[in-house]
Structure 1
Amino acid sequence: MTHDLRLVLPALATWLTAATTIALPPLAVHAVAAVTLLTALPLLTRAPATPHNPTPPPLSAGAVGAGVAGGRRGAVGRRRLVGVVLVCAAASAAGVGLRATAVSTGPVRDLARNGGFATAEAVVTGDPRAKPGGGRQVIILRARAEAVPGAEVRVPVLLIASDPGWLRLVPSQRVRLHGRFVTPEGADLLAAVVIVRGPPAVLGPPSRTQRAAEHVRARLRAAVARLPPDQRGVLPGMVVGDTSGLDPGLAEDFRAAGLTHLMVVSGANLAIVIGAVLGLCRLLGLGRRRAPPVAVLAVLAFVVVARPEPSVLRATVMGLIGLLALVTGRQRQGVPALAAAVLILVLIDPALARSYAFVLSVLATAGLLVLAPPWRERLARRLPGPLADALAVAAAAQVAVSPVLVMLSGEIGVVAVFANLLAAPAVAPATLLGALATAVAPFSLPLAQAIVWPAGLAVGWIIRVARTAAALPYATIPWRGGGLGATTLLLAAVAALLILRSRRLRVLAAAAMTGILAAVVIMRATAPGWPPPGWQLVACDVGQGDALALSTAPGQAVVVDTGPDPALVDRCLRRLDVEQVPLLILTHPHADHVGGTSGVRNGRAVQEILTTSRTSGREARLAPGIPIRHANAGQQWRIGDLTLSVLSPHPGPALSPGDDGAAINNASVVVVARRPGFSAMLAGDIEEEAQRALATTVPHVHVLKVPHHGARSQDRAFLAAARASVSLISVGEDNDYGHPSPATLKLLQDLGTRVHRTDREGDIAITRTRTGIAVVPRG
């Protein structure tokens, strides 16, 4: 199969120019545009000179004339192609230069350079997104600043807020905000980043279009409300990209299984919309020329509801180009349509050139267009047609996006192709029925609820595939991240291609792989595995945060803190086969200790929560319906043969929301866990002041969970009194806080304790042996 590649080079030139010039000063970008355009003009206007040759050619005049004419046409064509490529590059640079000039000058950028506080008015342009960070929830959304003190403006800004009120905003709403303006870091077409204080002051409702879109999304959420929790979180994401109800733990399973693309509205969704509308038009008797305009209106309505994300925009432009081909009667070809979509979109919005979502979308589509057809043809020789189609599509898309995924995550998804193959039969029914329910829900909620029930069954199968695939050993394998990781993966792919083309190399590679596989199987069969039998305590690797598990019985554990991310603690507990949590201890209400609470509850029965008596309110919202008790010094709990004794906090007045982080840290629950042959002290985030108050009451223990991730604020007497042979530091790799402090590591070394860190060793298990305790890292 041949592809029309004439638009590929102009599209690549447009894309690469935008991606590289965004990082340059505006004056330099304008210079690039001018020089490129001046270089292109002669190539487009001047024909190549015909060489003069006085010697008669030995061939016939007709043959020579044809050859000269053909060579002349070829030279002209190549010159014009280079000229068109340069013109596209010039247009791309000019677009970047105009936007860079707009955002790098004016009152908003002046405020940012001075780091000043100001009250401004802005229009929200993107959906708010929440993520944990810095001990609290961080809400990020894009907006367009329209008024600052003394001036009216119209420039893009990025808002970073913490008040939950920002999550309720809808694109096109105008708000008043107060915050500190700072200069954006890195290459981005933003006038400023605004660190917002307090809630938004809403100045008006969304536009009619956005109100209608939000109404449709809300009605879809209402239609799926009766489905099981996982299904009602996934189905809106598959249909309109609404992942607001998606459990973070399940989202992580989708990522590990290579199914995240199902949560992003893509060309598949639009193909279903276009196909359904065209089919309905055919049933109604509309001709070939009257049906496409109806499909265009349906596509535009779908884009508004699904939000103009990069993948949606790319798929929309391709779909509209295809409809244009249908109207004009010209044959539609995928590669030119993709190239045209890239060219048009990057010229309209140069920031897309640096959007990883846009890159992944384009690469996946290119894989389906270029790699899938020949692979399907080869596979069809040995496999049934439908199976060959599904396998070729899944493999082509995964291969195309793998370099970028490795660059971002530092992992290779081993099971992604097979997970996509298993999920594929359920994707079309789930998406088609979900789209139908979306269209029906604004008019008849009962009918939409009936439609989403079979869609939920299809989604349930996809969820089961994601969970099963993510739980498999080596579902993902580590690989170097960044550009070097992507390069080495491409080199490995080239080597694999060379091996597949040579029979001798295939035999050698098969022998080597067989030997490696045999060695792995033998090692797995003879190694003790992880977690080790009889584990007592596990410090889960949850990044910059704390999450620990104390074994109380097979399948049961006390959990102390939950880390910042539900997915990470959920996966750790799943590796430990923990199904019941008789007691969940939340030492204090900072996000790096309580943000993952929903992950602990994911499929597990949590019977009771113990938390600090000095702060209040948030724990009930994190775990509604679960009894909560406040910890005070002197309390004891006994679960099986495990005894838990509370050392701190002492009774006292509740802290107010205005108290600083140190006061909240010092109010942490400090608990000592004991059973025959094992003891540990888990000290939350208490700092030097609280440690000093406890130093005279600290018992001797085998294991100490070092307070506050090994921060500098440690009391030597407190650490020395524990006499722990093992010290655990739960800390995130390359964190922004400098944890653990070199001074703390030196202090622990001087006290003769062995230090183990989750950022270097992964999950860390403590187990009993005949001679004492042993440390078994997972990493």
Structure 2
Amino acid sequence: MPALDLRLPSVEIRDLRMAAAGAAAWLGGLGGLLAPRAALLAGVVAGLLALLVAGRPGLRRAIAAWLLVALAVGTSAVLRDMSVGGGPVATLAPMRSAVDARITITSDPREVSGQFSTSVVMRAVVTHLSAHGTSYAVHTPVLVIADETWSGTRLGSSLHLRGRLASADGHDVAAVFTPLSPPVRVEKPSVLWRGSGAVRASIRGAVSHRPMPERALVPALVDGDDTSMPDEVAEEFRTTGLTHLLAVSGTNLTLVVGFLLIVGRWCGVRGRWQYVLGALGIIGFILLARTEPSVVRAAAMGTVALIGMGSNGTGRGIRCLGVAVVGLLVWDPWLCTTVGFALSVLATSGILLLGPGWSRALANWMPMPVAQAIAVPTAAQLACTPIVAAISGQVSLVAVVANLLAAPLVAPATVLGLLGGLIGLVWMPAGRLCGWVACWCAWGIITVADRCARLSLPAIDWGTTVVPVALLTVLCVGLAVTLGPVFARRWSGFSCCVVMVLVVVVPLPSPGWPPRGWVMAVCDVGQGDAVVLNAGEGRGVLVDAGPDPALVDKCLARLDVEALPLIVLTHFHADHVDGLPGALAGRDSGEVLVSALPEPPQRYRSVLEATRGRVRVPALGEVRRVGQVTLQVVGPTPGVVFRGDPNNSSIVLVAEVHGIRILLTGDEEPEAQEAFVKAWPGLRIDVLKIPHHGSRHQDMRHLLSLDASVAIASLGADNDYGHPAPSTMDPLAESGAATFRTDRDGDVLVLRDGEGMKVRTRD
């Protein structure tokens, strides 16, 4: 048997000096932004002590250099923070001053859908400001929030307009700017911005003839344009560890610039001209994907990855990584506080330090290309796992498998998408041919994400506090040390792969869930409603489907609900209907009852499409029986279908399951509640689904008169609406009702047992 090659990558001391400089820059930036005085004092003291302890002159020089790097980045951070937070814009923002301004748009406009309307958000720099009779020449970043008419605003445009300032939460913008007048264009974008915009539009045009969501994925792969990506697909990418494909990452640059270098070599470009071509490719990529900090960061990490592919790649790559970290933090100190920057650095470090050794270990019993395809995503994922878990509260188990399966399709989808855009500028039919092939590759990637997200255990929940994250970090370090020897031996490496596949494919039992005798489940689906009534024998009546297809699908799977003979959609807001495709996936379904008010129209159309038109508006007083469930439609009251007000037009139901009476209220508000009281006086129930996620807009006399023993609010954590309001929850609790909320309690189940009614939660 040949000797196993378990050598670690060749890393010399000089390779680590720039890495240490990068760490010093990071600490200096954090200190400068979070605690400048304390950080300065601590840094100087630590540097002096290190200089005293260091024996060799070379080490002393290195420590002095690291200290200077930290001071430089910290000073840059302080000055940048002062320039943003101390100028006229930041001073006028708390007073909500109306100003005349000249602004330059620095990001593409992005539409953000709210519950009632759509806003357009973009970044800009204020270059001239007039307020209260005084004019200022400034250069201050702001966040612009406008209406839908701004969706066609072009990056790089200089505009003159009147607007109102407001305080901003983030430290990287001085204020929020809300336009009060239509913009007057002062200067159109430069030739470079117009050119990059034309290429981006051409990329979208090259795939516009293909169906969703693949035509939305191709622009995301090429230049990070994910504005059209459906929410359910984005959630599947998050679950399977493929989110990096939806944003500008080092992978994008590596593929685009690597392809450009290959073409250059075919055309005879050699020697130093290869470096020139690569530099031009990097600049072009940044312009195409926009010069936002996240893009520049991704470009820097992608450049490091390209360097790491060469001879002595590990040593050169680590040195370049240190240089990239220092340079990026001097340019934008705020990067040191962003999660994306930390993930980029860790992923690149994992690939450089762990990837080569694991590839050689696996190559002892499999072809090297296959070994590298397994080792590289595994190394990157392992390095990022603690931070990802700290943010999401989950550890993905399918990320490596999903990235391995998707990897062969990413390169052709990206390169052909870019070619389609470039060729489309000259002749769109040829561009669409490239786009057609790119979309087929994108379809394969989406299929991988969908299938992996539907596995029995794609991810496990993990705590986000200090102790669980620290434990996970220790586990990851242990795996980094031990996986090399495990991978090197055929049977241990093969067994490791088999165990991982079995864990994510074979269903694991969930002892005690769902509990016997459950009659009603309020699913934790984020900021929305999804209620399931147990009709028996694996059947359920679903009332609303929440905002997220994946979340409602998982809740129904946890409840072992295999068929939905009846679905009720109380109204057509996104937080009640957007999850419908997930509820229908893989389940037999019957009739769908819907609100009489088909607004907003786009949500109504999506419901028609998902149900193939199987919808009906129920009559007031109508009674339906499905297995153990009896439903009666008790609202909205005739004459209380408010045009333009879907909330007050919600279907209201009284359900009875095994003798437990439940009132399901949709999002009805005081106007509809007042009419309800007059139509159904003296109604008493056992369980109340609190209207409108527990908002403060309630007729509390009505809610308290119901005499409910249990009251449940369905809502998402850290929502922007102030749900649930204390003015709603406190009176209910004081009346004797046991109150629950899905953002804290998770799934809430109401049970019937021999002793009466009980409630169980699954957080």
Shorter-chain TM-score above 0.5: yes
Give the Cα–Cα distance (whole angstroms) in 1 for the partners of residues 253 and 33 of structure 2. Answer: 31
Distance change in 2, residues 1:596/1:284 (3 Å): same
| Aligned counterpart, 1:126 | 107
Which residue does 1:647 correspond to in 2? Answer: 635
Contact 2:393 2:462 in 1 (8 A): yes
Aligned counterpart, 2:354: 371
State how far apart, in whole Å, the 1-side matches of 2:632 and 2:181 are. Answer: 40
Structure 1 residues 151 and 620 mapped into 2: Cα distance closer, same or farther (>3 Å)? farther
Q: Pick from 83, 88, 93: which aligns with 1:112?
A: 93
- Contact preservation (8 Å) 1:633, 1:651: no
Against the structure 1 CA distance between its residues 112 and 624, is the aligned structure 2 distance closer, same or farther, given a 3 Å change threshold? farther
Q: Verify the 8 A CA contact 1:36 1:89 in the aligned structure 2.
A: no
Partner of 1:450: 433
What letter corresponds to residue 715 of structure 2 in structure 1? V
Q: 1:34 to 1:647 in 2, by over 3 A?
A: closer
**1:693 alignment partner in structure 2:** 675
What residue in structure 2 maps to residue 78 of structure 1? 59
What does residue 681 of structure 1 align with? Answer: 663
Distance 2:105 2:698 in 1: 44
Distance 1:565 1:468, change over 3 A: closer
Aligned equivalents of 1:179, 1:679: Cα separation in 2: 52
**Residue type matched to 2:633 in 1?**
S
Q: 1:11 is matched with which residue?
A: 22
| Displacement of 1:420 | 2.0
Contact 2:29 2:77 in 1 (8 A): yes
Q: Using the TM superposition, name which of 83-92 and 668-677 deviates more.
A: 668-677
The answer on 1:760 being equivalent to 2:748 is no
Aligned CA-pair RMSD? 4.7
The residue number in structure 2 matching 1:439 is 422
Structure 1 residue 643, shift from structure 2 partner: 4.6
In structure 2, list runs of 5 or more residues that go unmatched.
1-8, 487-500
Query: Which runs of 5 or more structure 1 residues have no equivalent in the other structure?
Result: 49-71, 504-516, 657-662
Pick closer, same or farther for the CA change 1:418–1:770 going to 2, 3 Å. same
Q: Which structure has the larger Rg over C-alpha atoms?
A: 1
From 319, 336, 355, give the equivalent of 1:353. Answer: 336
1:7 alignment partner, SS class: helix
Distance 1:664 1:229 in 2: 28
Question: Per the alignment, in what secondary structure is the counterpart of residue 680 of structure 1?
Answer: strand
1:239 counterpart letter in structure 2: V
SS of the counterpart of 1:229?
A: coil
Separation of aligned partners in 1, 2:666 and 2:684: 17
Q: For residues 259-313 of structure 1, give each alpha carbon's deviation from its aligned partner in whole angstroms, at most 9, with x where no partner exists.
A: 1112233333323333322222222223323333233323322221122355542
Match of 1:144 in 2: 125
Deviations 1:418-450 (A, max 9, x none): 222232333333333333323323223222322
Amino acid at match of 2:236: D
Q: Take 2:294 and 2:456, find their aligned partners in 1: how far apart are those partners? A: 31
* 1:313-341 deviations in Å (ceiling 9; x for gaps): 24534666799999999998211111111
Matched, 1:334 2:342: no
C-alpha deviation, 1:178, in angstroms: 5.1
Superposed, 1:409-428 pairs within 5 Å as: 409-428=392-411
Q: Which amino acid aligns with 2:10?
A: T
> 1:2 corresponds to which residue?
10
* 2:622 is equivalent to residue 636 of structure 1: yes
Change (3 A) 1:595 1:230: closer
SS at match of 1:147: strand
Is 1:729 the counterpart of 2:740? The answer is: no
| Cα distance between partner residues in 1 of 2:275 and 2:299 | 14
Aligned partner of residue 189 in structure 2, secondary structure: coil
> Residues 354 and 521 (structure 1 numbering): CA distance in 2 closer, same or farther, change over 3 Å?
closer
Q: C-alpha offsets along residues 622-670 of structure 1, whole Å, 9 cap, x if unaligned?
A: 65768699979836375867655142243258556xxxxxx87545442
CA contact (8 A) 2:519 2:657 kept: no
Distance 1:549 1:124, change over 3 A: farther
Following superposition, the deviation at residue 521 of structure 1 comes to 13
Alpha-carbon distance change, 449 to 551 in structure 1, aligned in 2, over 3 angstroms: farther
* Residues 117-161 of structure 1: per-residue CA shift (max 9 Å, x gap): 334332221233445567655554321112322424443434253
The alignment partner of 1:731 has SS state of coil
User: Aligned runs of 1:274-293 on 2, under 5 Å?
Assistant: 274-293=257-276
Which piece of structure 1 moves more, 696-705 or 357-366? 696-705
CA contact (8 A) 1:33 1:89 kept: no
Q: What residue is the counterpart of 1:51 in the other structure?
A: none
Letter in 2 for 1:447: A
Deviation per residue, 1:325-372 (Å, 9 max, x gap):
999999982111111111112111222222211221111111100111
What is the CA distance between 1:398 and its match in structure 2?
Answer: 0.7
Q: Distance in 1 between matches of 2:43 and 2:283?
A: 38
Alignment of 1:178-327 (within 5 A): 179-185=163-169, 188-194=171-177, 205-310=188-293, 312-317=295-300
Q: Within 5 Å, which residues of 2 pair with 1:541-580?
A: 541-549=524-532, 560-565=543-548, 568-569=551-552, 571-572=554-555
Q: Please give the alpha-carbon distance, in whole angstroms, between the structure 2 residues aligned to 1:215 and 1:557.
A: 51
1 CA distance for matches of 2:314 and 2:369?
25
1:164–1:199 contact (8 Å) kept in structure 2: no
Q: Distance in 2 between matches of 1:593 and 1:197?
A: 33
Q: 1:318 to 1:157 in 2, by over 3 A?
A: closer
- Which residue identity is paired with 1:87? L
Distance 1:480 1:129, change over 3 A: farther
Report the count of equivalent residues: 727
The one-letter amino acid of 1:672's match is V
Question: Contact 2:456–2:507 (CA<8 Å) still a contact in 1?
Answer: no
One-letter amino acid of the structure 1 residue matched with residue 230 of structure 2: D
Shift of 1:219: 1.8
Q: CA deviation at 1:397?
A: 0.3
What is the match of residue 490 of structure 2?
none
- Cα offset for 1:257? 0.8
Q: Supply the distance in 2 between the matched residues of 1:417 and 1:325 (Cα, whole angstroms).
A: 21
Question: What CA distance in whole angstroms lies between the structure 2 residues aligned with 1:491 and 1:326?
Answer: 29
Contact in 2 for aligned 1:145/1:157 (Cα 8 Å)? yes
* Preserved contact between residue 632 and residue 649 of structure 1 (Cα < 8 Å): no
Q: Distance in 2 between matches of 1:177 and 1:631?
A: 47
Report what 2:469 is aligned to.
486
Partner of residue 161, structure 1: 145
- Letter aligned with residue 707 of structure 1: P
Decide whether aligned partners of structure 1 residues 692 and 329 sit closer, same or farther in structure 2, where only a CA change above 3 A counts. Answer: closer
Percent identity for Structure 1 against Structure 2? 35
TM-score (normalised: structure 1): 0.79
Q: What's the secondary structure of 1:161's corresponding residue?
A: strand
CA contact (8 A) 2:565 2:626 kept: no
Aligned-pair CA distance for 1:192: 1.9
Opposite residue 354 of structure 2, the aligned amino acid is L
Q: Provide the C-alpha distance between the structure 2 equivalents of 1:34 and 1:766, rounded to a whole number of angstroms.
A: 55
The answer to whether the 8 A contact 1:429-1:458 is kept is yes
Q: Deviations over 1:507-556 (max 9, x none)?
A: xxxxxxxxxx99999995584644x7997654221223323355789998
Residues 387-416 of structure 1 deviation map (CA, whole Å, 9 limit, x = unaligned): 322221121101111121122112211222
- Structure-1 separation of matches of 2:267 and 2:364: 40
SS for the counterpart of 1:386 is: helix
Q: Give how far 1:203 is off.
A: 5.4
Report the CA distance between 1:254 and its aligned residue.
0.8
Deviates further, 548-557 or 160-169: 548-557
Query: Is 1:99–2:90 an aligned residue pair?
Result: no
Tell me which amino acid in the other structure corresponds to 1:222: G
* SS of residue paired to 2:213: helix
Contact 2:651 2:665 in 1 (8 A): yes
- Residue in 1 aligned with 2:496? none
Match for residue 31 of structure 2? 20
Matching residue's letter, 2:105: V
Structure 2 counterpart of 1:379, one-letter code:
L
Which of residues 364, 381, 406 in structure 2 aligns to 1:398?
381
Label 1:422 to 1:500 Cα distance change in 2 as closer, same or farther (>3 A): closer
- Aligned ranges 1:599-614 → 2 under 5 Å: 610-611=594-595, 613=597
